[in-house]
Amino acid sequence: MKPQRIAVAAGGASVAAAAIVILRRRARLSQPTQRDERTRWRVVTIAHSRDEIAPGGVLPPPLAAIADQVDVEFADAPGDRGTELRARLRSGGSLEPSDLRIALRQSKQLIEAGEIAVVDPHPHGRRKTTPQGVALDVIAAASKGKGIL
C-alpha cells in the first residue's frame, strides 16, 4: 500500500474518532442528571398578584402540604401577566419532582379557577365508551400524573 493512502486512511479514522467523541460528549451534556432534575426550579405563571396567591404569606393548600420539603419564591411575570410561582425540592427530602409539578399545577388551578380539575375518577359515574373517551383515557394514562405527554 502506498504511504499516501495510509496517511489518508489514518487521517479519516482520526476525524471519525474525534466526531464520535464530540457527539457522545454533547449527548451526555444535553441530558439532565438526576441531581439537576431534583434541584431545578419549576415555575408556573398565575394570572394574579402575589397578595392574591399567598395572602399574608400563606401558601395555597397543595404547596402548604409540602412546604417543609420545598423552597418557594415569587416574581413578577414578564409582560405584566401576573406572578411567577417558583418552587424547587430541598436536598435530602423524600419528595419526587413529579409531586412538586403536581402541587404547582394544582395551586395554579385552585387560585385561577377556584377548584382542582381532575380526569380520574370520572365525576359522573361510568361513561359510555366512545372514540373520544378512549383517546382521553389513553392520553391520561400516558401522562403518568405529570400533566405532560
112 and 133 together in one domain: no
Count the domains in the chain.
Answer: 3
Cell of 47: 394570572
- Label residue 15 left, alpha or beta by phi (over 0 means left) and psi (-120 to 50 means alpha): alpha
Q: How many CA atoms lie within 13 A of 53 on its CB side?
A: 24
Q: Based on the fold, state whether residues 10 and 81 are members of the same structural domain.
A: no
pTM confidence score: 0.61
SS3 (DSSP) at 32: coil
| Enclosing domain of residue 13 | 1-31
Q: 70 and 139 share a domain?
A: no
- Structure confidence by residue, pLDDT tens digits, 30-86: 665 555 777 889 999 999 988 888 888 889 999 999 999 999 999 999 998 999 999
Q: Are residues 98 and 48 in the same domain?
A: yes
The predicted pLDDT at position 119 comes to 65
Residues 14 and 74 in one domain: no
Positive or negative: CA dihedral 20, 24, 27, 29: negative
3-state secondary structure (DSSP) of residue 78: helix
Q: Identify which has the larger pLDDT, 16 or 115.
A: 115
CATH number at residue 91: 3.30.70
- Identify whether the C-beta of residue 69 lies closer than 8 Å to the C-beta of residue 90: yes
Same domain, 41 and 103: yes
In degrees rounded to 5, what are phi and psi of residue 117? -75, 135
**42 and 113: one domain?**
yes
Inter-CA distances, 61 with 20, 50, 69, 88, 139, Å: 50, 15, 14, 17, 27
- Chain CA centroid to CA 112, Å: 20
Non-local CB neighbours of 76 within 8 Å, separated by 6+ positions? 83, 84
**CA–CA gap between residue 44 and residue 58 (Å, rounded):** 17
> pLDDT, tens digit, for every residue of 80-94?
899 999 999 988 888
Both 48 and 105 in one domain: the answer is yes
